[in-house]
Amino acid sequence: MQSSVLKDAPANDESRYRLLVDSIADHAICMLDVDGRVVSWNRGAERIKGYRADEIIGEHFSRFYVAEDRQSGLPARALAEAEREGRFETEGWRLRKDGTRFWCHVILDPMRSPDGELIGYAKITRDLSERREAASALLRSEEEFRLLVQSVTDYAIYRLDPIGRVATWNPGAVRIKGYAPEEIIGRSFSLFYTPEDRAAGEPERTLSIARREGRFEKEGWRLRKDGTRFWANVVVDPIRDDAGEIVGFAKVTRDITERRSAQRALEEAREALFQSQKLEAIGQLTGGIAHDFNNLLMAILGSLDLLRKRIPDDPKLMRLVENATRGALRGSALVQRMLAFARRQVLDTGPVSLAELVGGVAELLERSIGPSIVIEQRFPAGLPQANTDANQLESALINLVVNARDAMPQGGSIVISAREANVGNDEDVSLRGGAYVVLAVEDSGEGIDEATLLRVMEPFFTTKGPGKGTGLGLPMVRGLAEQSGGTLKIRSETGKGTVAEIWLPRALGEASEEGPIEAEAPPIRRLRVLAVDDDFLVLMNTEEMLSELGHDVEAVNSAAEALDRLRASAFDLVVTDQAMPGMTGMEMTRAIVAAGLSIPVVLATGYSDVPPDPELNLVPLSKPFRERDLAEAIDLALQARPA
């Protein structure tokens, strides 16, 4: 069936129209009669739907519809709407000859004769399967991306409009920042910034940099809904449309507070390790210097003692000798400070009553600080004794009081007090769990700022002027406390004074009121003594002291040589240095015992590295020692000698 237009057109025009329609391959163009049967079929219809013209002409067009559309009467409704409205247009699934579906766009126009009579329909179908698949893929991608963003809880991912108002809000943003979507969408993102950042224009600067440079990234403090701060990593990227215009911003925020805290803790641990290693190195150096200095002082003090006995009784000469002796003794005190810092001085520990110790030096302390400062003592009744070296603790106390005095140039007050304390196993990393007695020195002085407080116990660090401090005072006090099994703690604030606390282990037993029973001194007799030291000056000095005491002396400069002499000849006593190359004095003493030789040994050392050993007939002697110290050590060695 043909339209009247084609009937009335000249034959050549009709051929052109037919040729035009048949040449279209991207659209299925066909004509239907008034009942919906196919009456023409172009090449595009054959390509899209798979039917040849001889297979489909005369068939009803409803066969292109899927079963569900046919059951719903869609083909008939399409014809009726086209007739009634003058056009029917829709998209939907259609069937090819092989039964596969394709998505298409369909236009159905009624064809009428010049007098208006309906004579059929023109039907144009376009295959949109590829476009629809692309659109579906885009929708799926967008949905998957939306689900991805909505599934992220470790990052706050949201969109801002061009002026910085929140447009979307994911669960990560809810978790990190605390706002529900309805509470924050439409509000400015500047709400997340701290007041100081808002005042500085940081939110506006963020968007400006993102616009200008295409990206903004920074770390800083941000605010949660409850007002608490968290350290965040923030990335802002501009969102542009197809024309390149900015339509908003993508903002990603990550809470890295824990990571930052871990990094800071790691840095602090590294710094602490570095400081510990540095202090250990300085301690080793200090201990080595102190050992060598001790040997020099030994030679000086010993020689001065011997010289005092041999020079004429001339007051001028004696005054020079006494002055040199006092200088050497001051050097010895400095060495003790250095060894205390290095934790290598010899401690004579025992139960110490802090109240009695402070009372014993009270007059000295008052003379040291002057009349403008008042000292107050506060000691509770029944305070337990501390286990430490009383003499060293006196020096430490004087050091702390002098420091307190220097912090109060206009005068003030110092409170010396003590208290009991108990520390759990995990309570304080600087102390072992147990019972302690705390000796505190508190002043009303200027206080110490935070930066200085971190350094006050560093060796050689001092806030005093040139020549007024060695920087070893507090390290010495700390060394005494730690070698005793405790620690030194200092608290201070600028303008609020300073409190220095020496934590000492509580003594397990009480000191005897009667004191030790002194053994009866043996009769003085001439001994054959072997002197051992690798330092020639010290060895010569020791040899002279022993000779002055009336003993026969043979001197050697190594432990190996000493053992050879002991095997070859009989000696009554050995006086030896501890720190010698090849074999220490302690190792030599063990070798003497192993060889079956019952010879008492006086072990001279400036270190605290001589552990007690009841199996060894050994008496320690602290360096530098003088003639009377050597004589007392020999007496103790002879008293302890087994029968």
pLDDT in tens, 182-230: 999 999 999 999 999 999 999 999 999 999 999 999 999 999 999 999 9
State the pLDDT at residue 68.
94
Contact 221, 231 (CB under 8 A): yes
Band the pLDDT of 271: cuts 50, 70, 90: confident
Distance linking the first and last C-alpha atoms of the chain: 146
State the pLDDT at residue 638.
86
List pLDDT tens digits, range 430-479: 778 888 999 999 988 888 877 777 777 665 556 654 444 545 567 778 87
State the pLDDT at residue 3.
41
DSSP 279-335: HHHHHHHHHHHHHHHHHHHHHHHHHHHHHHHHS-S-HHHHHHHHHHHHHHHHHHHHH
Mean pLDDT of the residues in the chain: 81
- Measuring CA to CA, which residue among 608, 293, 306, 350 is closest to residue 479? 608
Contact 602, 529 (CB under 8 A): no
Distance CA 257, CA 597 (A): 69
Residue type, 488: L
DSSP 9-51: S-HHHHHHHHHHHHH--SEEEEEE-TTSBEEEE-HHHHHHH--
Distance CA 191, CA 214 (A): 23
Instruction: Report strand pairing: 573-577 vs 528-532.
Output: parallel
Band the pLDDT of 640: cuts 50, 70, 90: low
Distance CA 174, CA 601 (A): 78
Q: Residues 6 or more apart from 205 whose CB is under 8 A from it?
A: none
| H helix or E strand, kind and range, residue 531 | strand 528-532
The sheet that has 528-532: what strands, in order across it? 552-556, 528-532, 573-577, 601-605, 618-622
- Average pLDDT, stretch 253-279? 77
Domains in the chain with CATH codes:
4-133 (3.30.450.20), 152-255 (3.30.450.20), 265-341 (1.10.287.130), 349-505 (3.30.565.10), 528-639 (3.40.50.2300)
- Average pLDDT, stretch 157-173? 91
State the pLDDT at residue 7.
43
- Average pLDDT, stretch 552-558? 93
State the pLDDT at residue 121.
95
List pLDDT tens digits, range 8-65: 445 566 666 666 677 677 889 999 999 999 999 999 999 999 999 999 999 999 999 9
List pLDDT tens digits, range 391-432: 778 878 888 888 888 878 888 888 999 999 888 866 666 778
Query: Burial of 392 by CB count in 10 Å (0-12 exposed, 13-18 middle, 19+ buried)?
Result: buried
Higher-confidence residue: 115 or 265? 115
Bridge partners for 441 per DSSP: 416, 500
State the pLDDT at residue 58.
93
- Measuring CA to CA, which residue among 299, 343, 318 is closest to residue 472? 343
Is a pLDDT exceeding 90 seen at residue 99? yes
DSSP 51-68: --HHHHTTSBGGGGB-HH
Distance CA 539, CA 535 (A): 6
Q: Residues 6 or more apart from 177 whose CB is under 8 A from it?
A: 156, 184, 192, 222, 224, 225, 253
Residue 163's CB is within 10 A of a number of other CB atoms, namely 11
Distance CA 313, CA 58 (A): 154
State the pLDDT at residue 262.
84
Distance CA 68, CA 187 (A): 49
- The separation between CA 415 and the C-alpha centre of its own chain, rounded to angstroms, equals 37
Structure tokens at 11: 């034959």
Contact 389, 507 (CB under 8 A): no
Distance CA 372, CA 382 (A): 32
SS3 503: strand
Distance CA 450, CA 59 (A): 98
Contact 341, 286 (CB under 8 A): yes
- Percent of all residues in the chain with a pLDDT value above 70, rounded to a whole number: 80
Contact 532, 558 (CB under 8 A): yes
Band the pLDDT of 285: cuts 50, 70, 90: low
